[in-house]
Structure 1
Amino acid sequence: MGIENKPNKEEAQDQTPVKTNLPVSVNLRQQTNLKQKQSTDSIISSCKKIGNTLVLCDLLHKGLIICNLDGNDIHHIPLSYTPQYITEIDSNTVAVSCDDRTIQIINISTRSITSTINTSGNCYGISYNDNNLYVVIGMSIIHVMDLTGKVIRTIPVPSDYIYDITVDRYRLVCVDDTSIYCCSLEGKVMWKFKKDELQDLRHMTTDNEGNIYVTDHIKETVVVVSDDGKHHRELLTKSDRLHQPYGIYFDKKENSLLVCNDGDIFLFDVKHQ
């Protein structure tokens, strides 16, 4: 399936074409129905693609699902807490933010929990950068901590209800329900992106160009926003078989976009100009 993206109305009205680094097309490489593979429902809240391995947070069964791209060779790692968001530490290790004020460090090769970090509030978005974890605590502040859980510093958040974050190119990108914020690593807002059609943003990811991809759970879309926040495009919709998507992850090594529905996993190849 090929999806050729058309310029949005704002861009079409410009007299002079504006060059952006937004993707020009996405093509479906792989679709996997996870329910058929494991004969049970799952609610995938967050996801990562590490090489050819998928690591999925399953809200419904309170654990991680590890499988290959076609949904075979499935393994489950049960957790004591409900997983919310996930970040890659290295090719064998992930950190998972959970409810009940907990972060769990997990070895996906041995499928074992190597350590548990207790936090001062419920955990949401989590991102690993330069040997530190950046974690949204209670949706109201970001703690920067080492892998033992020692808090090094705190960063103010630009909104009352921040869900997901990522550290990318010496900047911090955050989302709440309806807006995307690009901040310095000290928390100073550099720009904010908000459109009326965005209703329920919970998860986001960035590509090599600094573009930001977000899933809108209610609108059932994926929207991409340019690295300066000035341009955007609706990249995927319900016509692409999205159904209440949450998890999203951009594989920067191979320019592919992983999107997870409640029951389906989609892998798209992304092309830029």
Structure 2
Amino acid sequence: MASELTISCGSCRFKNITNNAKKWCTICKEGFCGECEQSHKFKNISINHKMISIEDYSQVQDITINLNCEIHGKKLDLYCKQHDIAVCVVCIPYEHKMCSSSDVISIEEASKNAKQSTALSDLERTISRTLDNVKHCINDQEIALKDVEKDERTIKKTISDTRMNLKNYLDELERKLLLNLKSTHLSCKTKNIEILHQLKQKEKELKKLREQTLQMKCFASDLQVFLGTYQLNKTIIDNFRFLKEEIRDCTNNRMELDLHHVISSLIKEVRQFGEIKVIETKASLQLKDAKIDQAQIQINKSMQNVRNISLQLKQKFDIKGSKEPITGCVIFSDDRIIITDGDGSGKLMEYNNSGKHIRNIPVYDKPYYLTAVDTDRIAVTYPSSKYLEIINTKNDNERKKVLCSNICRGISYQDQKLYVIIYQKGIVVMDLDGETLNTIHIDVLSVLNITTTSDRIYYTNRSNNAVHCCSMAGQEIWVFSDRSTSFPSGISVDNNQNVFVVGQYSNYLTLIQHDGKDSKVLLTDQDDIHHPKALFYSKEKNIICLGYKAGSVALYQAS
């Protein structure tokens, strides 16, 4: 049992004294008795070391976390933000000599608040999703096994009924066919059982990883959590790849009886009772995307202070026929930019990322706010009308009008749902058919724009010059107000729930930290910003599209 773990005091052992340790130092990896613990705590070199009880240590002792560089064997005491990797001092002059000094920080600084990081949450979600995948595979194989059993029973009945009609003449043929069935059934069953065994073994391993992650989250140090997250993620990636390899060519076998078509009339000519066939159908093992691409994990990004984030101008271009700031924009994965010019030309337009005008998309009113629904579709609101439209940007004939109870303003899409600011109603949550699922009752008189993540809603409030963050149920999490957000307009959010917002009167582009406790002004009127309205952050490309002044758009690379 973990509670029965006995560890000797390391300091006493050097004095040839045997004392049981009461505490464990997560940095020194050594136990200390009560007296030695006090001495250890007051030494300058170890004053900041974290001590945990032996009982707590017993919970994490089986979690293997490598604290040393795999290449050089030195302690991992540095972290490169540019390459998103923990390194030792020897790594720097070789693999990271081109990295700036600001990119390389201490591992202690990098691992702060590791237990609250989105990386750890991503790891937990990845384990859960992969476990769900395994359970899905197991369920599919169990169904296939039942089908094979059912097929066997059906074929036996068919064989038996036919045999009664053919009587003694078919006895020998029946015997041969049943032997064939038994052999084929055994082969199919053995295959199913083998796959089930492999999947259940993976299920056990994943459950163990999930338990280790929970224990690590509760009892390990920030450093252990930080490095353990990397290493356990690698294990999960290997497991997920194993699953994909295992099921890539996996088939579920069914059996059927191919009865001779002339057996009833040409008894004397038939030399076999029938033939057992195995019908191979592709196993329905469509794994859910576990989203464990290492490039998307960005373990330390969410713990970065927003003051480390900067922008680099990529492109500026003018909007055809526009003399007012654009009101909305989105960037698709194929680099198409869709723009609403509600205050200017009143058009919905498509541009490429070089600033070339591609075409105008037909609309029957002045479009104002928009959001991407998928790789081709957008949802657009019209501030003078009580409806919104879902439009296929590659097929003008494919569009759907969704009636609303009042005038629509800001709009955002998340998880098959639209979040719409509707005058005198609040934030209305609806499906893509326009059916209202929920209404978050807030005063939206001064609320114009909105954006969402999987678990949060963000909106701008011009009455108090603030950005509000709330849960999906409408419970307020934080409010940010500053002179930089004077008359807030366009709003967007990055992969780490940091919020970009433009102040239409302050002429600022501001980045608010995910907890609402810090911010950084990224652009000002010195950067030619003038009454900005539209703002969009591409989470896929880390690019900001900004309507920075009347009739003009700028693209910035965020890093």
TM-score (norm 1): 0.86
1:138 aligns with 2:426: no
Counterpart secondary structure, 1:30:
strand
Deviations 1:217-241 (A, max 9, x none): 1121111100000001111011112
Q: State the match for 2:346 in structure 1.
A: 62
Preserved CA contact (<8 Å) 2:322 2:345? no
Counterpart secondary structure, 1:267:
strand
Preserved CA contact (<8 Å) 1:212 1:224? yes
Structure 2 CA distance for aligned equivalents of residues 225 and 249 of structure 1: 15
- Selected match of 1:251 from 538, 542, 548: 538
Per the alignment, do residues 167 and 19 of structure 1 end up closer, same or farther by CA in structure 2, a change over 3 Å counting?
closer
Q: State the match for 2:555 in structure 1.
A: 267
The one-letter code sitting in structure 2 at the alignment partner of 1:64 is L
Structure 2 CA distance for aligned equivalents of residues 248 and 139 of structure 1: 25
Counterpart secondary structure, 1:239:
helix
Structure 2 CA distance for aligned equivalents of residues 145 and 204 of structure 1: 21
- Selected match of 2:356 from 72, 77, 82: 72
What pairs with 1:25-104 in structure 2 (closer than 5 Å)?
Answer: 25-34=310-319, 38=320, 41=323, 43-51=325-333, 52-59=335-342, 60-99=344-383, 100-104=385-389
Q: State the match for 1:3 in structure 2.
A: none
Per the alignment, do residues 22 and 144 of structure 1 end up closer, same or farther by CA in structure 2, a change over 3 Å counting?
farther
Per the alignment, do residues 196 and 53 of structure 1 end up closer, same or farther by CA in structure 2, a change over 3 Å counting?
same
- Selected match of 2:486 from 196, 199, 208: 199
Deviations 1:26-65 (A, max 9, x none): 110111122xxx3553541011011210000011222211
Structure 1 CA distance for aligned equivalents of residues 361 and 486 of structure 2: 32
Between Structure 1 and Structure 2, the one with more helix by share is 2
Structure 2 CA distance for aligned equivalents of residues 64 and 26 of structure 1: 27
Per the alignment, do residues 196 and 239 of structure 1 end up closer, same or farther by CA in structure 2, a change over 3 Å counting?
closer
Per the alignment, do residues 23 and 97 of structure 1 end up closer, same or farther by CA in structure 2, a change over 3 Å counting?
farther
Deviation of 1:161 (Å): 2.0
Structure 1 CA distance for aligned equivalents of residues 541 and 399 of structure 2: 29
- The higher radius of gyration belongs to 2
Q: Which runs of 5+ in 1 are unaligned?
A: 1-17
Deviation of 1:24 (Å): 2.5
Structure 2 CA distance for aligned equivalents of residues 55 and 85 of structure 1: 11
Deviation of 1:139 (Å): 6.2
Preserved CA contact (<8 Å) 2:390 2:401? yes
Structure 2 CA distance for aligned equivalents of residues 113 and 122 of structure 1: 23
Q: How many residues align?
A: 251
Counterpart secondary structure, 1:163:
strand
Q: State the match for 2:48 in structure 1.
A: none
Per the alignment, do residues 25 and 42 of structure 1 end up closer, same or farther by CA in structure 2, a change over 3 Å counting?
same
Deviations 1:144-178 (A, max 9, x none): 11111111111122664211111113111111111
Structure 2 CA distance for aligned equivalents of residues 23 and 136 of structure 1: 33
Structure 2 CA distance for aligned equivalents of residues 40 and 87 of structure 1: 21
Per the alignment, do residues 24 and 43 of structure 1 end up closer, same or farther by CA in structure 2, a change over 3 Å counting?
closer
What pairs with 1:119-138 in structure 2 (closer than 5 Å)?
Answer: 119-138=404-423
Preserved CA contact (<8 Å) 1:47 1:249? yes
Structure 2 CA distance for aligned equivalents of residues 22 and 254 of structure 1: 20
Deviation of 1:71 (Å): 1.9
Counterpart secondary structure, 1:71:
coil
Structure 1 CA distance for aligned equivalents of residues 488 and 339 of structure 2: 19
Deviation of 1:81 (Å): 2.1
Preserved CA contact (<8 Å) 2:485 2:501? no
Per the alignment, do residues 47 and 180 of structure 1 end up closer, same or farther by CA in structure 2, a change over 3 Å counting?
same
Per the alignment, do residues 40 and 208 of structure 1 end up closer, same or farther by CA in structure 2, a change over 3 Å counting?
closer
Deviations 1:96-152 (A, max 9, x none): 011211101111112345111110111111111111111010165011111111111
Per the alignment, do residues 22 and 205 of structure 1 end up closer, same or farther by CA in structure 2, a change over 3 Å counting?
farther
Deviation of 1:216 (Å): 1.0
Preserved CA contact (<8 Å) 1:140 1:161? no
Q: State the match for 2:505 in structure 1.
A: 218
Q: State the match for 1:236 in structure 2.
A: 523
Per the alignment, do residues 161 and 42 of structure 1 end up closer, same or farther by CA in structure 2, a change over 3 Å counting?
closer
Per the alignment, do residues 160 and 189 of structure 1 end up closer, same or farther by CA in structure 2, a change over 3 Å counting?
farther
**Residues 69-78 or 38-47, more deviating:** 38-47
Structure 1 CA distance for aligned equivalents of residues 523 and 304 of structure 2: 21
- Selected match of 1:227 from 514, 531, 534: 514
Per the alignment, do residues 28 and 158 of structure 1 end up closer, same or farther by CA in structure 2, a change over 3 Å counting?
same
Give me the identity figure in percent: 26
RMSD (CA atoms): 1.9
TM-score (norm 2): 0.43
Deviation of 1:262 (Å): 2.1
Deviations 1:165-223 (A, max 9, x none): 11113111111111011101010101111124532112200011111011111121111
The one-letter code sitting in structure 1 at the alignment partner of 2:394 is S
The one-letter code sitting in structure 1 at the alignment partner of 2:482 is K
Preserved CA contact (<8 Å) 1:22 1:225? no
Structure 1 CA distance for aligned equivalents of residues 470 and 327 of structure 2: 24
